[in-house]
Structure 1
């Protein structure tokens, strides 16, 4: 009997990112970070995200506040996790939620800005592991015995992991 899994893909974006979508997220989240950080740094005593977190109460809100700059770009993905392809080279992994995170940033040096977007997949039925690939299908409903079900085979790329696992009763 297949187990139900939820996957998490952590997409890192920084100054070295080369894809157009990544660059847009990088630029807009850096601009938003600089704007929002003013609320936690009125005397401009601190220049790094780490310093703000360490010395300024409430600076942890910057993750949420800056995420507004990324939300529109995430919506452009049409519910498909970027960078994760099946064995036929197609995007297949649907996400139902995401979490934005500032990893590092500096108010005076954009090259230090680094963010992550964590994509959490919709549930999948995990049928088997073939070599280093997972064989999965959509988890809408467990098919009746003997029924054929469309499947997807894919390799686990870096930064993709099984977030949760549910065994049938």
Structure 2
């Protein structure tokens, strides 16, 4: 039987309606940094929104990269464990190996319009089965491979939820 190795992506959207403390810290930090960095592109123009800057100002696409460091410290605090994603017994278990920060919307003059996303990409996982709306998965690590004797491996049962996507799939023999 072919082994299916997947990478999951969880897209965490953060805006002024976010209620968790970590989310609020990321929101405030990234808005302040956006406001400071966007001034470099908006000086002498009437453009104040992220969308206007992207459409009308050369090199404004660099803003995301300039704002990313303001979120990086908070992301490191997670200890490589994805926020909000729980297994069937209510434990955070899914590790991420990389992330991508994204500005969805913002405005220099209106904090309420600020909206960002952090896309968390899991380490490779073995996808064993789908049971109703649950994925049965395990870490794709050498110590988590069944031996010739048929040793059991540790698994997690995870319910599919909004903003979780299988971002890559690989079949191995």
Cα deviation, residue 98, structure 1: 0.2
- Residue 113 of structure 1: how far off its partner (Å): 0.3
- Structure 1 residue runs without a partner (length 5+): none
* Offset of residue 130 of structure 1: 1.0
Number of residue pairs the alignment of both structures matches: 169
Cα drift, residue 156 of structure 1: 1.0
For residue 80 of structure 1, give the secondary structure of its aligned residue in structure 2. Answer: coil
Structure 1 residue 38: deviation in Å?
Answer: 1.3
The Cα shift of 1:44 comes to 4.2
What is the Cα-based RMSD across aligned positions, in Å? Answer: 0.9
Deviation at 1:144, TM superposition (A): 2.3
1:41-65 per-residue CA deviation (whole Å, 9 max, x = no partner) reads: 1214211000000000111111111
Aligned to 2:72: 71
Contact map agreement 1:40 1:52 (CA 8 A) in 2: yes
Per the normalisation by structure 2, the TM-score is 0.95
Structure 2 residue aligned with 1:13: 14
Report deviation, 1:81.
Answer: 0.4
Provide runs of 4+ in structure 1 moved above 6 Å.
none
Note if 1:154 corresponds to 2:158: yes
